[in-house]
Amino acid sequence: MLPLTISAFLQISIMQTLYVTTPIYYVNAKPHIGHAYTTIVCDVFTRFNKMLGKNVKFVTGTDEHGKKIEQSATKAGLDPKKFTDNISQLFRDILPVLNIFNNDFIRTTEERHKKAVSAIWNKLSEKGYIYLGEYSGWYDIRNEAYFSEDELIDGKSPLGGEVTIMKEECYFFKLSEFEDKLLKFYDENPDFIFPETRRNEVLSFVKGGLKDLAISRASFKWGIPVPNDPKHVIYVWVDALTNYLTMLGYPHESDMNNNQYWQNSIHFVGKEIVRFHAVYWPALLMASGIRPPKQIVAHGWWMSEGEKMSKSLGNVQDPVKYCKLFGSDSLRYFLLRELSFGSDGNFSLEGFIGRYNGVLANAYGNLCKRVLSIAQKNCSGIVKKTEDEADFIKEIEKILNETIELVEKYAFNRYLEKVETAIAFANQYVDQQKPWAIEDQNALQNILHNLLIAIIQITKFFEPVIPIAASKVLSQIKVLDNKDIVVTNSDDSLFPRIDASKIGEFDVFERE
């Protein structure tokens, strides 16, 4: 059953389609909490929108070409294909652990993708946007990008990578022709880049002038060959960005401009790769005759225990260990609740335990446990509907309805704050009404009925974040056609309290 509040919303909303994407992850290291975060954000956004009745396609995958990966494979003593098979599998395997419900998973080494990238290249070439030239400059291998001398900062690339001088023949994309077109596009589509701070950065970058972009490399082999000139491979970012089209069936599905998913595409990315998504990608698409995606949504970065996450500090938080110790629901909840979307945040075990015990175990867990067990013990598990809807339910609905706008604005922490407000309001109602002390069955059933409806509504809105616990709770409360409620099994503890004094005993960091 849909909660009343959602059915009311559905009456006014038109069925809408959405296409939600994560960045595709480099396969040179195993997945860590930063990767898990982007994927979980997309999963929650998808589930929330599905709950509202929207048709959402949600995709993720791995980015497997380029010099950096070729080098990592050599270091591991493996050929690149074998190396990427192994690490890509780790990214695939973590999805069920995090309880991710994606529709597709792409590897850029797949045939369908090679076809899409070659097709884009041919389109750009046909339209006269590619020419052969020579590049000489500083190359940042980690980020696979060229920079001129004056762009370097303290001898490193502006993206922070080590640089080496390189000179090579390569193909260029006429990016410089897109400066005005891009600025016009940003102006006409003020929501294209979210949040505002990232939009401003992009605007000033483009206003500073765009140079043509080197889009092929001849100094290594691990990539998709340039059509008709196989001594070059296609630049890994042109290759990687095209994944978003591959998963919609391009080039077989050729009319992206009328594709409902593409028209409503949202690329979630970390703040460090906004430029690729908000400048190069729309320019490449415009040049190929395809409309840019609808929105680029950028999030901030996680620090760990107050410091930059790094292997050498041994503070890389391991998402798999969190799931094994405390369950995927609680990791999903913490990641969304702790970080104000768009800003940087700090991941600490202490913070995690604090929120887990405070909200999941105490506030939500106890609300469900208290109400379900009184319903079972004092009403034999059957709670009849006796009176009209109470003001209490209306207030819960009002609070929960406010989450819709917050999720639309990617304010995930504030969405969860609202859910917590609704939980606190319901707990307050229990404390005031003291159902355990009521002897009159009619009065008791009326109060319990209100509370059970409130729990259903709260749980529906909480479900995108804590799907396992939510489905457990919802399976224990059945609303019959005549609105009476049957309650079963209240004994399980949803979120057993974590003993904070044992904090030193939990092994949550990644070890080699």
| 399 makes contact with ligand MSP (CB under 6 A) | no
Place of tokens 């000139």: 229
Find the binder of ligand MSP among 130, 233, 241, 297 (CB under 6 A): 241
The residue assigned the tokens 């391991």 is 318
Kindly state the number of chain residues that form the binding site for ligand MSP, as judged by CB under 6 A: 18
240 binds ligand MSP (CB under 6 A): yes
Smallest CA-to-CA distance from 345 within 381, 307, 311, 372 is with: 307
The reply on whether position 309 binds ligand MSP by CB under 6 A is: yes
How far apart CA 410 and CA 153 sit, in angstroms, is 33
From candidates 38, 84, 118, 376, binder to ligand MSP by CB under 6 A: 38
Which of the stretches 151-159, 183-191, 216-224, 268-276 binds ligand MSP when contact is defined by CB under 6 A?
268-276
- Give least dist CB 67 to ligand MSP, A: 13
Q: Among 287, 198, 309, which Cα is nearest to 241's?
A: 287
- Structural tokens at position 381: 């598990």
301 part of the interface to ligand MSP, by CB under 6 A: yes
H/E segment holding residue 214? strand 213-214
In whole angstroms, the minimum distance from the beta carbon of 400 to ligand MSP comes to 29
Exposed, middle or buried, 424 (CB in 10 Å: 0-12/13-18/19+)? middle
Q: What is the DSSP string of 136-183?
A: EEEEETTTTEEE-GGG-BTTB-TTS-BEEEEEEEEEEE-GGGGHHHHH
Other Cβ atoms within 10 Å of 354 Cβ, number: 15
Contact positions with ligand MSP (CB under 6 A) in 328-367: none
In angstroms, rounded to a whole number, what is the distance separating the alpha carbons of residues 428 and 125? Answer: 66
Question: Is 142 an interacting residue with respect to ligand MSP (CB under 6 A)?
Answer: no
Residue 273 found at the interface with ligand MSP (CB under 6 A): yes
- Contact pattern from residue 58 through residue 87 relative to ligand MSP, giving x for each residue in contact according to CB under 6 A and a dash for the rest: -----x------------------------
Interface stretch with ligand MSP, choices 236-244, 352-360, 362-370, 379-387 (CB under 6 A): 236-244
Using the contact rule CB under 6 A, the part of the chain among 31-39, 181-189, 193-201, 426-434 near ligand MSP is 31-39
Under the binding rule (CB under 6 A), the answer on residue 302 touching ligand MSP is: yes
Residue showing the smallest CB distance to ligand MSP in the complex: 34
Residue 128 or 158 having the CB closest to ligand MSP: 158
Question: Could you please report the per-residue DSSP string of 306-353?
Answer: TEE--TTTT--B-HHHHHHHH-HHHHHHHHHHHS-TTS-EEE-HHHHH
- Residues in the site for ligand MSP, rule: CB under 6 A? 23-26, 34-35, 37-38, 63, 240-241, 243, 269-270, 273, 301-302, 309
